[in-house]
Copies of this chain bind each other. A is one copy, B any other.
């Protein structure tokens, strides 16, 4: 993963969500197929978004869509069928009008199996890139900077 040094930053907001590897997700070797991870990372984002009022629908109702700009995954260990794992989703502070997450997938022994990173842009309903986050998200960031987001 790329290094991302930063000025004036605040601690990430972290959310955990548990899942179990499904029969339909494993390949011939009984391991989760690598292409299923984006699906569960999205679940991690949604879980965090819902908890803090910054989900897909919150943006949508404010006239903003947030398409992925980039997604990077680093596979360290494979997940076996039926393993219970945790998606640890961390919203990273970013001053630009983007949404930046990092992720860790942990198995049932808390071993880090996969790490990931995503960046989302903000577009208005006409598909125009926003250079400024919508008001509701700025308010959320203000609370975050003040340490009021739990």
> If the complex has contacts A24-B27, A26-B28, A46-B23, are A69 and B65 also in contact, measured as CB distance less than 8 A?
no
> Which residue of chain B has its CB nearest to the CB of A20?
B46
Question: Which residues of chain A (60-75) have a CB below 8 Å from chain B?
Answer: 65, 67-75
Q: Judge whether A29 is part of the interface by a CB distance below 8 angstroms.
A: yes
* Interface residues as binary, A6-40 with B (CB distance below 8 Å gives 1, 0 otherwise): 00000000000000001110111111011100110
CB-CB under 8 A from A27, the residues of chain B are 23-24, 26-28
**Residue in B22, B39, B67 whose beta carbon sits within 8 Å of that of A31 in the complex:** B67
CB-CB under 8 A from A124, the residues of chain B are none
Q: Judge whether A82 is part of the interface by a CB distance below 8 angstroms.
A: yes
Q: Are B24 and A42 in contact (CB under 8 A)?
A: yes
**Residue in B28, B29, B67 whose beta carbon sits within 8 Å of that of A78 in the complex:** B67
**In the complex the two chains form, what is the Cα distance from A23 to B29 in whole Å?**
11
Q: Judge whether A131 is part of the interface by a CB distance below 8 angstroms.
A: no
Q: Judge whether A56 is part of the interface by a CB distance below 8 angstroms.
A: yes
Q: In the A-B complex, list the 5 residue pairs whose CB atoms are closest, starting with the nearest.
A: A35-B38, A34-B68, A72-B72, A70-B74, A71-B73
Having A69-B74, A70-B72, A72-B73, one finds 8 other A-B pairs with CB under 8 Å, namely: A24-B42, A28-B29, A31-B67, A38-B38, A67-B75, A68-B75, A71-B75, A72-B72
